[in-house]
Amino acid sequence: MSALQKVPVTILTGFLGAGKTTLLGRILKERHGERIAVIENEFGPEGIDNDLLFTGGAEQIVEMNNGCICCTVRGDLVRLLGELHARRERDPAAFSRVIIDTTGLADPAPGAQTFFIDDEIAAHYRLDAVITVVDALHGGAQLDAHHEAQEQVGFADRILLSKADLVGPEDERLLRQRLRRINPRAPIVPAHFGAVPLAEVLDIHGFALDDILAIEPGFLGEETHEHDDAVQSFAFRSDTPLDPERLQAFFRAALREHGPALMRYKGIVAFPGMAHRVVFQGVHMMMGSDIGSAWREGEARESRLVFIGRELPQDGLLAALAACRVNVS
């Protein structure tokens, strides 16, 4: 057993020009007393000045040999993170955090999955969160033109909105609404010239099996919208406990049919006879679950599930979830 703590890792995504490099520069300059290793795949025009900068060349997507199309990892990350770990074994003070700056068009999923699929990486690193920088000025057009932009938003644990000073309040409101429909669980944080409190970027615990599932109120069924993005979200609520076996069967079918399209999902559910919540979250076809906090005396045992994905058959999935309630035959 290694005595070293797992190193938190942040994946930074966002389209070229959205302000990722500016943000990264600000994070590195702040006096946080930490040594941060940065993995970059391309040099932006501004460049990053950091002793611990690693460039891995092209992002290298590797399909795992278990025949599962979703279980792709990034081979370049496996190699670089392995080398970084070796360095840290020699010198535990070498670095205490890793930030991965992805290329503009990258799909964040293989990078994120690397931390769950590769045993060595999982043993030494903890994926903290995926942070997506969206340019308020060009974000709308980028969402229109590139499905990757939608995927980066859908995958995010935090959305940082840059250049909001360059658009009017109505344009900003509409963009926020659109981002909210794609991803209702990631808070949207303004990032003027990369000025974001570090607490909004680091140690977010986006993949933790906690009881937190903050869904923006009223994101469902709001006013009609002009954009029908391919990446969309929906939520399911139930005041009736869910049958665990039916819900497992639901996921087996949903992951089999829609695993590649299901980007992120999370649930906090009530099972009959259990004093505690059960929490789960997933990335494509991979899923983790754990016990949550105890239901309080007299508390309404509400189950809540949120799904974010590409062209999901929302009505069918909601109907199938409704059939998981215990008193439904």
Partner 1 sequence: MVADDLQTLLAALPPAEADSEVRFAEPWQARAFGLVVQMNAAGHFTWAEWVEAFSREVAAAEAAAAVGLPAPGYHAQWLAAAEGLMLAKGITSYEQLAARRFAIGAAGATHVLR
d(CA 170, CA 294): 42
Q: Is 6 helix (H, G, I), strand (E, B) or coil?
A: coil
Residue of 230, 287, 323, 326 that binds partner 1 (CB under 8 A) = 287
Q: Is the CB of residue 326 less than 8 Å from the CB of residue 243?
A: yes
- Confirm or reject binding of residue 312 to partner 1 (CB under 8 A): no
Work out whether 271 is an interface residue with partner 1 (CB under 8 A).
Answer: yes
Nearest CA-CA partner of 75 in 129, 20, 124, 113: 113
72 binds partner 1 (CB under 8 A): no
Considering the complex, what minimum distance in angstroms separates the CB of residue 83 from partner 1?
23
Part in contact with partner 1 (CB under 8 A); list of ranges 82-90, 165-173, 176-184, 290-298 = 290-298
Using the rule CB under 8 A, is 242 a contact of partner 1? no
DSSP state of 324: T
Q: HSE of 231 in the Cβ direction (CA atoms, 13 Å)?
A: 28
Work out which of 139, 154, 292, 309 binds partner 1, going by CB under 8 A.
Answer: 292
Q: Residues 242-265, buried b or exposed e (16+ Cβ, 10 A)?
A: bbbebbeebbeebbeebbebbbbb
CA distance 40 to 56: 7
Instruction: For residue 123, give the 3-state DSSP assignment.
Output: helix
For partner 1, the binding residue among 81, 278, 308, 312 (CB under 8 A) is 278
Considering only 82-90, 155-163, 222-230, 289-297, which stretch makes contact with partner 1 by CB under 8 A?
A: 289-297
Q: Is 244 in the site for partner 1 (CB under 8 A)?
A: yes
Q: Stretches 27-35, 102-110, 274-282, 301-309: which one binds partner 1 (CB under 8 A)?
A: 274-282
Task: Select the span of 30-38, 164-172, 288-296, 304-312 touching partner 1 (CB under 8 A).
Answer: 288-296
CA 103 distance to own-chain centroid = 16
Q: Is 207 in the site for partner 1 (CB under 8 A)?
A: yes
- Residue 34 region by backbone torsions, left for phi larger than 0, else alpha for psi between -120 and 50, else beta: beta
Closer of 15 and 250 to partner 1 (Cβ): 250
Q: Does 248 bind partner 1 (CB under 8 A)?
A: yes
Q: Whole-number minimum distance, CB 291 to partner 1, in Å? A: 4
Asked if residue 108 lies in contact with residue 77, where contact means CB atoms within 8 angstroms, the answer is: no
Is 53 a binding residue for partner 1 by CB under 8 A? The answer is no
Sole residue written with tokens 């974000």: 139
**Contact present, 101 and 38 (Cβ < 8 Å):** yes
| Segment interacting with partner 1, rule: CB under 8 A, options 38-46, 133-141, 196-204, 247-255 | 247-255
Give the count of residues interacting with partner 1 (CB under 8 A). Answer: 34
Can residue 1 be called a binding residue for partner 1 (CB under 8 A)? yes
> Among the candidate windows 3-11, 130-138, 286-294, 315-323, which touches partner 1 by CB under 8 A?
286-294
| 295 touches partner 1 (CB under 8 A) | no
Distance CA 12, CA 100 (A): 6
In terms of CB distance, is 68 or 320 closer to partner 1?
Answer: 68
Q: What's the number of CA atoms in the CB half-sphere (13 Å) around residue 128?
A: 20
User: Apex CA 176: angle with CA 136 and CA 171, to 5°?
Assistant: 55
283 near partner 1, judged by CB under 8 A = yes
Determine the 3-state secondary structure of 11 from DSSP: strand
Footprint of partner 1 on this chain (CB under 8 A)? Answer: 1, 66, 68, 71, 116, 119, 122, 207, 244-245, 247-248, 250-252, 255, 271, 274-276, 278-283, 285-292
